[in-house]
Structure 1
Amino acid sequence: MPVVHKITEMNWAGNYHYRAGVVHHPSSEDELRALVAASGAVRALGSRHSFNAVADSEVLVSLDRLATKTIIDSAAMTATVSGGTPYGVLAQNLARHGFALHNLASLPHITVAGAIATATHGSGDGNKNLASAVVGLRFIDAQGNTRTVNRAHTADFAGYVVGLGALGIVTEVTLAIEPAFKVAQHVYRGVPWEQVLADYDAVTGRAYSVSLFTDWRGDAVGQVWFKQRLGDGRTTDFPAQLLGGSAALVNIHPVPGVLAVNCTEQLGTPGPWEDRLAHFRRDYLPSSGAEIQSEWFVGREHAVAAINALRARSAEISSVLQVSEIRSVAADDLWLSPSYGRDSVAFHFTWFRDQRAVDAAVGVVEEILAPFTARPHWGKAFNAGAPELAPLYPRFADFLVLAARVDPSGKFRNQFLDRTVFAR
């Protein structure tokens, strides 16, 4: 029988309490299949790192007791893992055998199935989100049947990957992998906005992955993180002074005043990809969770205009803001991905955990970015509903058709999806 745990915690941030009274922890796929078949409404719960109700349901299931071994196919250059596997665990397993993923998100603690379902991403002008590496899925459908889809043979595969949990419970994910590589992380402080905006593409193209951290106030970016992939042909020149900023002399945290003990190694020291691509170390929690996060994606061609628009109204959001991060995400073909069909710039906001103030600030940011057809991150705080979101995604209607075919009874829907996807 599956283990059942009472829910005694909210989500990771503490800003949302799940409606279900218990979480089921099946130890086999057969147990999971039986549970799904017998449930009226059910969803999977991963690392609880969503900042809204996307993961909630009457019945919640955790995949943490299913096998987490990594099956590597070196001929096909793929790896297959349980959907409940944290990315940090997957990265370690791949690295032991000399392989890598193309990128990691800021946190290595998030689960594979949860991250891909919401199009979670890292950074880099040429780097697509984490879900773009998916070449196959195994999931339990509403009848409790096991189903598989893959990029090679499933015509509408691009609709399944960023599925928001609306199509079933993903038990296994097969991902494209590549040979392992090394990364050196360089951090600069106090880079003038004038230098960044004079040639934005040159700044973000300087390294494999680039992040800009700001509070939107003043004339300078607080920090610029360059993750240099060794041997990729990009510049190796990271001097003491760059773009008017100064190289950090000690490891620093993205949030000013917070100790960097949980951050990955900086100072230009080369190291394995799994210890540099994420901002935070897999053996430390990134923070206490006392925050709420939001993020919006705009087409790359609007990067400078969107930055200037946010800076112009910084007074309306900065008092609620811990830090904001700007990253690049390459275009993909996944129907509900915020980077579907367009190279994007992602504007991330880490707010203080004050729900009322955050709701107001989110409204301001949505207003600022609306002219740039901004798409929100599905797992973070935003106000838009289906009427506003549907026109932003060319394949939105196709996803509705797919969901109606795969889950006609709506077993995997919830209040969040009814508001943001299925509302008529």
Structure 2
Amino acid sequence: MGLTNWAGNLTFGAARVHRPGSVDQVREVVAGAERVRVLGSGHSFNDIADTPADLVSVAGLAVEPRIDVEAGTVTVAGGVRYGELATFLDAEGFALHNLGSLPHISVAGAVATGTHGSGVASGNLATAVAGIELVTADGDLVRIGRGDADFPGSVVSLGALGVVVGVTLDVRPSYTIRQHIFERLPRTVLDERWDEIAAAGYSVSLFTGWAGDTVDQLWLKLADGEEPDGFGAVPARRQMHPIAAMSPVSCTEQGGVPGPWHRRLPHFKLEFTPSNGEELQTEFFVARQDAVEAFAAVERVRHLVTPVLQISEIRVVAADDLWLSPHYGRDSVALHFTWIRDEARVAPVVAALESALAHLAPRPHWGKVFHHAARPERLADFLALRDRLDPSRKFGNAFVERHLAAE
């Protein structure tokens, strides 16, 4: 069996897979290749990283993280996983502003796709980027920093501009988070008090199967000084997994026990591999003020959704100014769906969701299962940037051409 993604639903078609151990080796591979795509941790669920030509994994780049205390940044290799970086930072007394549900994902891959955590004041993980180091089509090493004209188009780039070998991220002093879980939030309360619930913690997640008159679980991740409000839901009396029937052994500690930021913000522990890849994922983003209408839209097709759904998660993400970001220019509510791993059954359900949400201008998560993506507002600017950095489309592939085609 060939190289697959984490979920196992895609086998890469690359003729050659390169695992360089240095930036110079990356430059040599890129300069000599006709077509190149980049592989991070493989946590995408579609063909965004696929290619019939050369596939470059950046997981082996041996670059030690470098903290610049005066600038308030850390510079890391693009392939480092967030969990490993977070452990290093916390030991040095520093932290990132947020983390995704899984600490297993790579920095460059998460940034390139606009992957996110949650919080009304927290932008996606790419908003922490202060600069990138990019190997472009000729094998040149280019540095693009915040404030440069090309920066907003170069961070969330879907791998279409080059190989990101280094990323500089903003850091802050380390902080403590407490995680509280509540069960059976009344469904009517979600609509009536949505704005309060979304802002009820440093990071907020709701898990639901879209059935019945309650939301299954409310996860509140609270900073020091914040007190939990369950909004009529019942405090959990045990450790919980987002899918209540599953063992919580892989989940980060709950029950309001204080802990370091990197041991509470993710839902899952770095030392475990949750779900073992036996799933597909889809995620759509709509404007945060349209959340209640979006919930109703999902419920109109829940008779299609529930037979193939494992669990759904609702989160919020702050707006940003990154051209291809799913959160460009608008505060967003994220509607995430974890499906059974059956592409034939899931595909028509995803199409039904896209149709149900169409009037709310949904944007997909670039790394997950979807059919259509609305034309990004700044696509023309991004394509002009790509024309300068990669005029021969060396870093293109079928995914990029489908979703970033010029009019």
TM-score by length of 2: 0.98
Q: Could you tell me how far 1:229 is from its partner in structure 2?
A: 1.3
- Residue matched to 1:99: 94
After superposition, where does 1:217-228 map in structure 2 within 5 Å? Answer: 217-228=211-222
Please list every run of 5 or more consecutive structure 2 residues that lacks an aligned counterpart in the other structure.
none
- Residue matched to 2:129: 134
After superposition, where does 1:155-194 map in structure 2 within 5 Å? Answer: 155-194=149-188
After superposition, where does 1:9-408 map in structure 2 within 5 Å? Answer: 9-57=3-51, 58-152=53-147, 154-231=148-225, 235-238=226-229, 242-384=230-372, 389-390=374-375, 393-408=376-391
Letter in 2 for 1:271: G
Q: CA RMSD in A?
A: 1.1
Q: Could you tell me how far 1:262 is from its partner in structure 2?
A: 0.5
Give the conservation status (yes or no) of the 8 Å contact 1:262–1:286. Answer: yes
Task: Give per-residue Cα distances to partners, 1:310-357, cap 9 Å, x unaligned.
Answer: 123211111010000000000000000010000000100000001011
Give the conservation status (yes or no) of the 8 Å contact 1:18–1:56. Answer: yes
Q: Could you tell me how far 1:22 is from its partner in structure 2?
A: 3.8
Q: What is the alpha-carbon distance in structure 1 between the residues aligned to residue 59 and residue 3 of structure 2? A: 17
Give the conservation status (yes or no) of the 8 Å contact 1:223–1:254. Answer: yes
Q: What is the alpha-carbon distance in structure 2 between the residues aligned to residue 377 and residue 133 of structure 1? A: 18
Q: Secondary structure at the match of 2:275?
A: coil
Task: Give per-residue Cα distances to partners, 1:216-265, cap 9 Å, x unaligned.
Answer: 1111000010000114xxx4145xxx322111111111123111111100
2:2 paired with 1:8:
yes
Task: Give per-residue Cα distances to partners, 1:341-383, cap 9 Å, x unaligned.
Answer: 0000010000000101111110011011110000000000000
Letter in 1 for 2:288: R
Letter in 1 for 2:295: I
Q: What is the alpha-carbon distance in structure 2 between the residues aligned to residue 376 and residue 65 of structure 1? A: 30
Q: Could you tell me how far 1:128 is from its partner in structure 2?
A: 0.3
Q: Could you tell me how far 1:23 is from its partner in structure 2?
A: 1.9
Letter in 2 for 1:394: E
Q: What is the alpha-carbon distance in structure 1 between the residues aligned to residue 303 and residue 228 of structure 2? A: 36
Q: Could you tell me how far 1:423 is from its partner in structure 2?
A: 5.6
- Residue matched to 1:414: 397
Q: What is the alpha-carbon distance in structure 2 between the residues aligned to residue 205 and residue 87 of structure 1? A: 25
Give the conservation status (yes or no) of the 8 Å contact 1:335–1:396. Answer: yes
Give the conservation status (yes or no) of the 8 Å contact 1:68–1:84. Answer: no
Number of residue pairs matched? 406
Please list every run of 5 or more consecutive structure 1 residues that lacks an aligned counterpart in the other structure.
1-6
Q: What is the alpha-carbon distance in structure 2 between the residues aligned to residue 306 and residue 30 of structure 1? A: 48
